[in-house]
């Protein structure tokens, strides 16, 4: 039986993305690949065309599939993307000859418990817990069941190493080399006065750390969770428990990939 080599191509509706997808499909079919009509969980690769927003959207839409993924950047920044549209031919040559490696990235997972039930949320960049309607949020933060502090401010951002270059960086968090699989908690506008004491720098924890947040309500339902830019509101949240996921996002990296070159190219 001939082995089916299925590829998922996911793209946004920008003209450059549609044109890039069309070129890519033609090339892949010439190389003997089959392009999934609908998303296939049996595919050997996902190629995501767009910017980081499209990449994040694809991961969430298909529930963090256990399939290697690579991005082609037709968006703004494209930090996740590895290939530009004019590099498709050389990318395919490298892919077919196995000139790549898989980098496993750990998402952050939150178990959000309300008075009635618990719900899961996941982010490859970060999960933000913040005050709704511009209110100050007050919450206790525990690390591995040790109370660390009572935090007051706009909220906290819990980032993965992958997300260190995203929102985390804009709010003063540290850039993290992806070889370190850590959790970074960065405060958002912490209040540090005689009335309230909150940590003012980001704090970095090892891989297996469990961070628990218990909101103290002064206004009912006054917190909101944001995972990779998508807001979640649940009534009466009593506890949010966060830790790195055991599930991995399998980034397909070309052999010459270098994280710090990318930081220089995109940020400096």
Residues annotated in a binding site for NAD(+): 52-53, 125-126, 135, 154, 165-170, 189
Please give the residue ranges that form the binding site for ligand NAP (CB under 6 A).
Answer: 51-53, 56, 75-79, 125-126, 162-163, 165-167, 170, 228-229
Among residues 30, 191, 149, 41, the alpha carbon closest in space to that of 96 is found at 30
Q: Which of 223, 210, 199 is nearest to 138 (CA)?
A: 223
Long-range contacts of 117-122 (CB under 8 A, 24+ apart): 119/232, 119/234, 121/225, 121/227, 121/232, 122/60, 122/64, 122/227, 122/245, 122/247
Cα-flanking dihedrals φ and ψ of residue 212, to 5°? -115, 135
Which residue, 165 or 245, is less far from ligand NAP as judged by CB? 165
Distance CA 167, CA 176 (A): 13
State yes or no: is 52 an active-site residue: yes
Whose Cβ is closer to ligand NAP: residue 152's or residue 186's? 186
Task: Name the active-site residue from 13, 38, 52, 132.
Answer: 52
- Residue 96: CB minimum distance to ligand NAP, A: 27
Nearest-approach distance from CB 242 to ligand NAP, in angstroms: 15
Nearest approach, Cβ of residue 126 and ligand NAP (Å):
6
Question: In the complex with ligand NAP, which residue's Cβ is closer, 43 or 130?
Answer: 130
Q: Any idea what DSSP says for residue 102? A: E
Using CB positions, name the residue nearest to ligand NAP: 229
Q: What number of other Cβ atoms are within 10 A of residue 238's Cβ?
A: 13
Q: Which residues are annotated as a binding site?
A: 52-53, 125-126, 135, 154, 165-170, 189
Catalytic positions, please?
A: 52
């Amino acid at each position: 039986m001939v082995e089916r080599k299925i590829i998922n191509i996911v793209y946004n509706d920008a003209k450059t993305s549609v044109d890039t997808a069309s070129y890519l499909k033609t090339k892949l079919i010439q190389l003997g690949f089959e392009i999934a009509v609908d998303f296939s969980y049996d595919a050997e690769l996902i190629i995501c065309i767009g910017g980081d927003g499209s990449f994040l959207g694809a991961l969430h839409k298909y529930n963090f599939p256990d399939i290697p993924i690579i991005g082609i950047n037709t968006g703004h920044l494209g930090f996740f993307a590895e290939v530009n549209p004019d590099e498709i031919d050389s990318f395919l040559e490298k892919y077919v000859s196995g000139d790549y490696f898989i980098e496993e990235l750990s998402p952050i997972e939150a178990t959000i418990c309300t008075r009635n039930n618990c719900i899961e949320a996941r982010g490859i960049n970060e999960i933000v817990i913040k005050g709704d309607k511009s209110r100050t949020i007050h919450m206790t933060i525990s690390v591995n069941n040790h109370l660390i502090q009572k935090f007051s401010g706009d909220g906290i951002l819990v980032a993965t190493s992958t997300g260190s270059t995203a929102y985390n960086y804009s709010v003063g968090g540290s850039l993290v080399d992806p070889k370190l699989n850590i959790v970074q908690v960065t405060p958002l506008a912490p209040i540090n006065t005689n009335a309230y004491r909150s940590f003012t720098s980001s704090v970095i924890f090892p891989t297996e750390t469990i961070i628990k947040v218990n909101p103290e309500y002064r206004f009912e339902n006054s917190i909101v969770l944001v995972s990779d830019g998508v807001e979640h509101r649940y009534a009466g949240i009593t506890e949010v428990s966060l830790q790195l996921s055991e599930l991995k996002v399998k980034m397909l990296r070309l052999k010459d990939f270098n994280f710090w070159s990318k930081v220089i190219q995109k940020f400096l």
